[in-house]
C-alpha cells in the first residue's frame, strides 16, 4: 500500500492529476493520518504545492521579460570609414540612445564590459583594433533602448554585449590577472595640494601643449586628479592618500611623447608640485579575451 507521502507525490507529478481534488482528498484523509502528521502540516504542504505551480507558470514569462530587457528596441551597425570628422573611439549614451561615430571592435567591447585599462582586453581578429591605420574597420553604431526614464548605464552595457554577440558573432572569455598599477601616496615631505574653500566652485582644465601638459583644478575631488594621472601614466592609478575633500591644484609636466622636452616628468612633477608620489604596484583585474568575431553586415 502506498503511503500518504507517495500519494501526494503522485498527485503532483502523475499524468492527468487534478490539483484541487488531490489537495481536498489529502485534507479529508487527515482525520486518519498518523498522529505525527497534523492537518496543519498538510495545509502547509498544499500551500507550498500551489506556490510551486504558480511559480512554474510564471517562470517562462519572467525569463522572457528579463531577456527582452537585454535587447535594444532598434539598432543599426554600419561600416564608418574615417573621414577626418567625428569622435574616434567614443561610445556615448544620451537619453535612450547609445551612439558611436567611429569605433573599432575594441572600443565597443571596452564599453560593453566596462574595461577601463587597455591591457584588460586582448585577442580577436587582426581588424579588431587598428585605430586610424585601417579606416574600414571603424563602425557607426546607433542603438535605441525602450523605456522611460532611460535605462541606467549598466543596462546599456548589457544590451551592447547582446548586440555584439548578435551582429559581430562575438565570443569572449574572462581571465583574472594581476596587472601593473600606480598607487598615489603622500610624499615623505608632506602634501602640497591645497584643500578648497567651502564656497568654492568646481572648475578643471587640461591644456596639452606641444611639449608640456598643464592641468589646473579648483574644488575638485581626488577622483578627478586620478583620472588625469591615469591618462598620462598609462596605468590605472589608485588613491592611497586618504584625502576625502575637494582640492585646488596645478600640475605641469613634460609630454612623454614630445621630442626634446626639457620639462620635468609626470612623476617628478607630482612629487615636487603636489607633494604626492606615484608608487608602482600590482592589482587584480578582470580581463576579457576575444575568442571569435566577424565583421557585421551593414544594416
C-alpha torsion angle, residues 88, 93, 95, 96 (rounded to 10): 100
**DSSP codes, 28-59:** HHGGGS-TTS-HHHHHHHHHHHHHHHHHHHHH
Q: Model confidence over 135-162: pLDDT tens digits?
A: 458 999 999 999 888 889 999 999 999 9
Residue with cell 521579460: 65
Predicted local distance difference test score (pLDDT) of residue 158: 96
Domain ranges in the chain are 4-68, 74-177+287-292, 191-274
Q: Model confidence over 223-282: pLDDT tens digits?
A: 999 989 988 888 889 999 999 999 999 999 998 777 777 789 999 999 999 999 999 999
Q: 203 - beta bridge partners?
A: 218
CA–CA gap between residue 102 and residue 141 (Å, rounded): 8
Q: Model confidence over 67-91: pLDDT tens digits?
A: 445 889 999 999 988 777 778 888 9
- Select the more confidently predicted residue: 9 or 43: 43
For 28, phi and psi rounded to 5 degrees? -65, -40
Check whether 194 has a pLDDT greater than 60. yes
pLDDT bucket at 18, cuts 50 / 70 / 90: low
Amino acid at each position: 500500500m502506498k503511503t500518504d507521502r507517495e500519494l501526494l507525490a503522485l498527485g503532483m507529478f502523475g499524468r492527468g492529476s487534478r490539483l484541487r481534488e488531490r489537495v481536498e482528498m489529502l485534507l479529508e484523509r487527515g482525520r486518519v493520518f498518523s498522529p505525527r502528521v497534523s492537518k496543519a502540516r498538510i495545509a502547509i504542504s498544499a500551500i507550498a504545492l500551489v506556490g510551486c505551480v504558480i511559480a512554474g507558470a510564471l517562470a517562462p514569462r519572467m525569463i522572457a521579460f528579463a531577456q527582452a530587457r537585454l535587447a535594444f528596441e532598434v539598432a543599426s551597425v554600419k561600416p564608418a570609414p574615417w573621414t577626418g570628422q567625428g569622435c574616434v573611439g567614443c561610445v556615448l549614451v544620451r537619453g535612450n540612445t547609445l551612439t558611436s561615430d567611429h569605433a573599432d571592435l575594441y572600443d565597443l567591447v571596452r564599453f560593453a564590459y566596462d574595461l577601463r585599462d587597455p591591457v584588460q582586453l586582448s585577442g580577436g581578429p587582426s581588424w579588431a583594433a587598428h585605430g586610424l591605420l585601417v579606416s574600414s574597420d571603424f563602425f557607426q553604431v546607433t542603438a535605441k533602448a525602450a523605456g522611460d526614464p532611460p535605462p541606467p548605464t549598466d543596462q546599456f552595457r548589457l544590451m551592447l554585449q547582446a548586440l555584439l554577440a548578435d551582429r559581430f558573432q562575438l565570443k569572449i572569455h574572462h581571465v583574472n590577472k594581476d596587472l601593473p598599477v600606480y598607487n598615489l601616496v603622500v610624499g615623505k615631505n608632506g602634501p602640497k595640494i591645497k584643500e578648497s574653500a567651502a564656497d568654492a566652485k568646481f572648475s578643471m582644465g587640461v591644456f596639452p601643449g606641444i611639449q608640456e601638459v598643464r592641468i589646473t583644478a579648483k574644488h575638485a575631488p581626488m577622483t578627478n586628479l586620478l583620472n588625469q594621472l591615469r591618462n598620462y601614466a598609462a596605468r590605472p592609478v589608485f588613491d592611497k592618500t586618504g584625502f576625502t575633500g575637494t582640492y585646488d591644484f596645478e600640475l605641469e609636466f613634460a609630454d612623454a611623447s614630445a621630442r626634446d622636452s626639457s620639462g620635468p616628468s609626470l612623476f617628478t612633477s607630482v612629487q615636487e608640485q603636489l607633494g604626492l608620489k606615484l608608487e608602482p604596484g600590482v592589482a587584480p583585474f578582470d580581463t576579457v579575451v576575444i575568442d571569435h568575431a566577424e565583421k557585421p553586415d551593414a544594416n
